[in-house]
C-alpha cells in the first residue's frame, strides 16, 4: 500500500513540476502578461502535463523497485485525461485548466495504480 501511495504521489508531483515549468516559460515569453492565452498555446499544457504525470509514474516505479510500467500507455491515458479535464474547465478561464487537468490526471494515476496491482 505504501508503494502505491509513493507511485501516485510521484506522478502527481512530477505533473505539477512540469506544469509549473511550462507556465513559467509561457509567462516569461508573453509580451503582455494581462492578455488572455491563445487557445493553441493552452492546448500544449495537457501535452506537457501528461508527460509529467507519466514520467512521475516511472520515477515512482524506480523508487519502489518495480518495473512494470511503460511510458507510452501511461502517457496516452494521462494525455486523454488531462485534455478532457482542460477542455471541461476552459470555458471558465484558460488559467483554470490546471484544476481540471490535475483532477483528471490524479484520478487516472490512481486507477492505473489499482489496475496494475491486480
| 18-44: pLDDT as tens digits | 999 988 888 787 776 666 667 777 788
Half-sphere exposure of 63 (CA within 13 A, CB side): 16
Q: Which of 40, 48, 43 is nearest to 20 (CA)?
A: 48
Query: Burial code of 42-53, b = ≥16 C-beta within 10 A, e = fewer?
Result: beebbebbbbbb
Q: Find the helix packing angle between 44-63 and 71-89, rounded to 10°.
A: 140
| Whole-prediction pTM | 0.83
pLDDT for residue 90: 85
Amino acid at each position: 500500500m505504501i508503494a502505491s501511495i509513493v507511485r501516485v504521489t510521484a506522478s502527481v508531483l512530477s505533473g505539477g513540476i512540469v506544469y509549473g515549468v511550462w507556465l513559467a516559460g509561457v509567462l516569461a515569453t508573453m509580451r503582455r502578461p494581462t492578455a488572455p492565452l491563445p487557445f493553441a498555446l493552452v492546448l500544449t499544457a495537457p501535452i506537457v502535463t501528461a508527460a509529467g504525470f507519466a514520467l512521475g509514474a516511472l520515477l515512482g516505479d524506480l523508487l519502489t523497485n518495480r518495473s512494470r510500467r511503460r511510458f507510452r500507455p501511461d502517457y496516452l491515458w494521462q494525455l486523454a485525461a488531462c485534455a478532457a479535464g482542460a477542455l471541461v474547465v476552459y470555458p471558465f478561464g484558460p488559467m483554470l485548466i490546471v484544476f481540471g487537468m490535475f483532477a483528471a490526471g490524479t484520478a487516472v494515476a490512481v486507477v492505473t495504480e489499482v489496475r496494475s496491482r491486480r
